A = this chain, B = another copy of it.
Amino acid sequence: MDGINIKQLAEALNLSTSTISRAFRNSSGIKQHTKDLILSKAKELNYQPNHYASNLRDQKSKTIAVIVPELANNYFSQAIHGIEQVARANGYNILIYSTDDDLEKEMDFIKHLHNGRVEGIIMSVSGEAENHNYLNDFGARRLPMVQFDRVYDDIDTPKIITDDYESSFIATEHLIEQGCKRIGYLVVKKDLSIGKTREMGYIDALKKHHINYKEELIIDCSNSYTENDPIIKKALKDLKLDGIFASVERLAFATYYASYDLNIKIPHDLKVISFSSLEIAPLLNPSLTTITQPAVEIGNLSAKLLFDILQDKKEISFAKEKVVLNSKIIFRNSTKSA
């Protein structure tokens, strides 16, 4: 690092380091002329205040961390985009971590983040374990946090979620109205609260319409296509499904692939609806009926909430509010009745 530091710049200008510092911080208490002089010389010599020194000095990093299960997912990249907008506007940087749905990594990240590196965390969890208490281990040291979408209900932080129950209810009801009798619910990690909530919407819709519900209709998948493919194919064949409600877009895609292979025609033989933030859902063959969450807005809001906490530390312990946003269901050909 052959960068010039504040002392060298001070020498070059025959000024003290404090004056230099002032030129970069307060616009007060310094003559405009001096300030101009300093800034121009700084530009010339390419001086910039050292980030680590500043942060060490005033114990602020102006950085927040964003932890998501995966990056290659439209929903999360849009949410991150939303977070970034707000962070940038507040002069904050974001550090992005992707857990690949691995709890180990998640714990590791969070632990290491508690070293002063960031001022707060925005997270959508991997949700593998039942024991989330590692988050409480930090006690008073726990960083301000906001959870979104995939959340741990037993961890007290503000949470931004969508109306998953209602959306799932409507989605399922829609399939029923289109004539489906045997509707499968495809889910990844069904024990995570978000999966449960959606499952309840699904079950209640079946109930309302007096449709036979069986445990076997809930199909637990993973994030791996190669693992899911046989599972879905088996379900399609053995259970004679005529409708699929997918809780994640990845599973809808896998269903499409499976149907192609098995020569099952969507929507004629099988109707499909899915949670998805895919912008090209209308271009699929057939176009996919989707429940789309306001991902960017969720990101915006999560960040805003975090900054609220950051500005008023007292509130941390009380911040348990839950914000529920509405998803949008768009009907397309994959659920069209003949």
Residues on A lying within 8 angstroms of B by beta carbon are: 1-4, 46, 48-53, 55-56, 59, 61, 71-74, 77-78, 80-81, 84, 93-96, 98, 111-112, 114-117, 137-141, 253, 256-257, 279-280, 282-287
7 contacts between A and B (CB under 8 A): A46-B138, A46-B139, A48-B115, A94-B96, A253-B279, A280-B284, A283-B285
Known contacts A72-B74, A141-B3; A283 and B46 CB within 8 A of each other: no
Do residues B61 and A71 form an inter-chain contact, with CB atoms below 8 A? no
Copies in the complex: 2
Contact B84 A77 (CB under 8 A): no
* Given A48-B112, A50-B115, A94-B96, A1-B77 contact (CB < 8 Å): no
Which 4 pairs across A and B sit closest by C-beta, in order of nearness? A285-B285, A48-B115, A52-B56, A51-B117
Contacts of A94 in B (CB 8 A): 96
**A284 proximity list for chain B (CB < 8 A):** 280, 283-285
Residue pair A253, B71 in contact (C-beta under 8 Å): no
Contact A116 B1, beta carbon cutoff 8 Å: yes
Taking the nearest CB of chain B, how far is it from the CB of A251, in angstroms?
12
From B48, B72, B115, B286, contact of A51 by CB (8 A): B115
**A52-B117, A283-B284 are known contacts; what are 8 more A-B pairs with Cβ within 8 Å?**
A3-B114, A3-B115, A50-B115, A52-B61, A253-B283, A256-B283, A285-B285, A285-B286
